[in-house]
Amino acid sequence: MKKAIAVLISLIFVFLLCSCSKEPIPDETTPSDSSETITEATTEEMKTELLTTTKKNDKNNSSKSNVLQAGSGSAVLQDGKTYTGREPLPCVEFKVTDPENTRNLSTEKKGYGFGVAKDGKPNQVSVNNQKYFDEHNFNALCLDTVSSEKVLYLTFDCGYENGYTAKILDTLKEKNVPAAFFCTLPQVKQYPELISRMINEGHIVGNHSVKHPSFPSLTRTEMAQEIKGMDDYLRTNFGYSEPYFRFPMGEYSESALDLVGSLGYKSVFWSLAYSDWDLNNQKGADYAFNTVTARLHPGAVILLHAVSPDNSNALAQIIDYARENGYVFKSLRDYGN
């Protein structure tokens, strides 16, 4: 009897591990650059447990199908729940439109520029960026040009953990401010308690890819794999999925924008940021406060990096100042509503 029970438990465990298989099967005017762009540091953590795909496999698979089958390869927690306490979500198929790019959409790499806003107005570069996205029907946002309110969208990039995310979450909870955290898969795997807090406290956990590559250098199938690998893991281990994506290092192309939108994701850029990611050049909370508040403007999508101690120390003051000056913080979910 004991042997039979042991065999049954083993079969259940194998079933959970295999419930989501990871095998992939493939299916004008440009924004002006500005003098200020944002890049992100990479770490060894971000190079582990990664999805890899060769162009040879992409070519072979594309002749069979253009669908990425459901799959993450990671089992849920043993009690049948997830880190958030929710039920696991089923993995979904991603249809890769035009995997061979027969429409010849541009694959030229563009580094995102946004300009420095001042006097309560967005920089014209950001205005042009949003106009470009809208005119080309890309599902992308860098500046809310629709709302009549002085709305702000607070977003954080979380390529790796530096010990300040919990404090940021504490401040957001105290101030009742929603935010979006764009995370890579290694961070999600290593810090499930932080990711669970983000989700359970009402924030968005955005997709920042599996291994933080430059998307213009990938095939359309490889781009879809990067997004799907992250989505599968969140579904299986957190019972969560929301369609918001941020390009690693802000590097994109026409083909990449088209691909992300075709998967049902909104590409989220920004209209306000500063060089807060450089840990060797932190200038203090006062500098962070003065820099961010001087660049506030209606409709701003604010990009901050959670690795910055300056941001964590200045965040409460930034929120208070913005509200005192008539701004309202909203979730990306509210955009267009």
Cα–Cα distance for residue pair 192/299, rounded to 1 Å: 31
Q: Which residues of 292-303 are buried (b: 16+ CB within 10 A; e: fewer)?
A: beebbbbbbbbb
Q: Which residues pair with 206 in a beta bridge?
A: 182
N-to-C CA span, the chain: 59
In the block, tokens 């309560």 appear at: 120
Angle (deg, nearest 10), helices 220-238 and 55-62: 90
Any idea of the CA torsion for 255, 214, 110, 228, to the nearest 10 degrees?
40
In the block, tokens 């401010």 appear at: 177
Query: How many of the other CB atoms lie within 10 Å of CB of 193?
Result: 8
Any idea of the CA torsion for 215, 219, 222, 223, to the nearest 10 degrees?
40
- Give catalytic status of residue 134 as yes or no: no
**pLDDT of res. 140:** 98
Separation of CA 296 from chain center: 22
Residue from 27, 58, 144, 157 carrying the catalytic annotation? 157
**pLDDT of res. 159:** 80
> Are 208 and 183 in contact, with CB atoms under 8 Å apart?
yes
Cα–Cα distance for residue pair 27/40, rounded to 1 Å: 31
**pLDDT of res. 213:** 97
**pLDDT of res. 143:** 98
**pLDDT of res. 148:** 93
The DSSP string of 269-313 is --SB--S---GGG---HHHHHHHHHHT--TTEEEEEETT-HHHHH
Q: Which is it for strands 266-268 and 140-141: parallel, antiparallel or unpaired?
A: parallel
- Give catalytic status of residue 305 as yes or no: yes
Q: What's the pTM?
A: 0.81
**pLDDT of res. 337:** 82
For the chain, the 3-state helix, strand and coil shares in percent, each to the nearest 5, are 40, 15, 50
Q: Which residues of 6-37 are buried (b: 16+ CB within 10 A; e: fewer)?
A: eeeeeeeeeebeebbebebbbbeeebbebeee
Query: How many of the other CB atoms lie within 10 Å of CB of 119?
Result: 7
**pLDDT of res. 77:** 63
**pLDDT of res. 16:** 40
**pLDDT of res. 160:** 85
Phi first, then psi: give them for residue 175, nearest 5 degrees: -90, -5
Cα–Cα distance for residue pair 31/267, rounded to 1 Å: 15
Cα–Cα distance for residue pair 318/297, rounded to 1 Å: 13
**pLDDT of res. 66:** 58
Q: Which regions in the chain score pLDDT beneath 70? A: 1-78
Taken in order of first residue, the domains within the chain and their CATH numbers are 20-334 (3.20.20.370)
The DSSP string of 85-116 is SSPPPPP--EE-SSTT-TT------EE-----
